[in-house]
Amino acid sequence: MPQLRHGLPARGLFRLTIDLSRDPFPAPLRAGASLSVLDITEYFSETSGGIRTYLLAKSEWISRHAEFRQVLVVPGGRDDLAESEGVRTYRLQGPEIPLNSQYRLLLSTHTTRKILEHERPDLIEVGSHLFVPWVARIANRKLRVPLVWFYHGHLPHLIAPGRDGGIIHRAIWAYVRLMARGCQGIFVASRFLADELRSHGIERVEYAPLGVDLGHFTPSRRQKRSATRTARGLPDGKLALFAGRFAREKQVKVLLDAWAEVERKTGARLVLVGDGPREDELRVHPYGSRVIWLPFERDR
């Protein structure tokens, strides 16, 4: 069985083509685990950001605690199955999301149900808001495993930004309430979002702030500041950094609209690290020539 390092397939290993909808699965890992969690999301790819980072951090933690096990169900270019210590990852073949080829759709209720019936998790955590909440709920009809939703992003403002109170905005909120109704809990990473969900009639909302790895993000790294700037071709002086996906919901254009004035007042240059569907548009922005552009960085 190909091994995973932090949830990603090891490179250079021979793989047999598999069909997860038909092929048998190996026995569940850690049969005696006291808690088994199945994480399912569309937002998981080789160049994706926060959700993938969160799930792989969870995988790494679970690998060190034998009383837990994790099952990841994510889309891919083909069906695949791989595992590491206490963590198994199922990749279900799915089409690219239109206008955002960085991600793929996860659509198969049949294969998801097969995985659920085989793995028998104690909890399902949904990590996206397109089709996956419905895929998980339909696949879970028979088993009725408790299901929670980590509400990453904000669907009403992604689809209809700046249209508070309009018919489209109200329809999207109705859709969010409908999806939330089948969940035992909805987790959010900000108090603002928790308050907004509650104000629109969504119950069982829990605020779960994301942590910071103080072993990785430490002031001792300041000692490497000069070497890091030199290696990346960065100038001396003040720098402001955005590291992420160049997509509409990140509102990087707003940042560029404002930065000429910010630079005039503070002298700080803007550094953008990443890639995404809006990169070409952002590069031709009037302030784009002043931006320091760095490619997507896999190493945190």
pLDDT, tens digit (0-9, with 9 covering 90-100), for 212-264: 888 888 888 888 888 989 998 999 899 999 998 888 878 899 999 999 999 99
The per-residue pLDDT for range 38-89, each reduced to its tens digit, is 999 998 887 767 888 889 999 999 999 999 999 999 999 999 999 999 999 9
Structure confidence at residue 161 (pLDDT): 66
Proportion of the chain above pLDDT 90, given as a percent: 62
84-91: long-range contacts (C-beta < 8 A, 24 or more apart)?
Answer: 84/3, 84/4, 84/5, 84/6, 84/7, 84/59, 86/29, 86/30, 86/33, 86/62, 87/4, 87/7, 87/29, 87/59, 87/62, 87/63, 88/28, 88/29, 88/119, 89/4, 89/7, 89/9, 90/20, 90/115
The per-residue pLDDT for range 20-40, each reduced to its tens digit, is 999 999 999 998 899 999 999
Give 6's pLDDT tier (boundaries 50, 70, 90).
Answer: very low
Give 14's pLDDT tier (boundaries 50, 70, 90).
Answer: very low
Structure confidence at residue 63 (pLDDT): 95
Structure confidence at residue 210 (pLDDT): 82
102: three-class secondary structure by DSSP = strand
Average pLDDT over residues 117-140: 94
Structure confidence at residue 15 (pLDDT): 46
**What domains appear along the chain, each with residue ranges and CATH number?**
4-150 (3.40.50), 219-294 (3.40.50.2000)
Distance CA 145, CA 132 (A): 15
Structure confidence at residue 7 (pLDDT): 40
pLDDT mean across residues, the chain:
88
> Who has greater pLDDT, 101 or 140?
140
Distance of CA 130 to the CA centre of its chain: 13
Whether 164 has a pLDDT exceeding 50, the answer reads yes
Whether 299 has a pLDDT exceeding 80, the answer reads no
Distance CA 250, CA 97 (A): 18
Give 154's pLDDT tier (boundaries 50, 70, 90).
Answer: confident
Structure confidence at residue 16 (pLDDT): 58
Whether 272 has a pLDDT exceeding 60, the answer reads yes
Structure confidence at residue 162 (pLDDT): 61
Average pLDDT over residues 270-277: 92
Strand order in the sheet with 239-243: 239-243, 269-273, 292-294
Give 131's pLDDT tier (boundaries 50, 70, 90).
Answer: confident
Structure confidence at residue 170 (pLDDT): 86
The per-residue pLDDT for range 170-203, each reduced to its tens digit, is 888 998 999 998 899 999 999 999 999 999 999 9
Proportion of the chain above pLDDT 70, given as a percent: 92
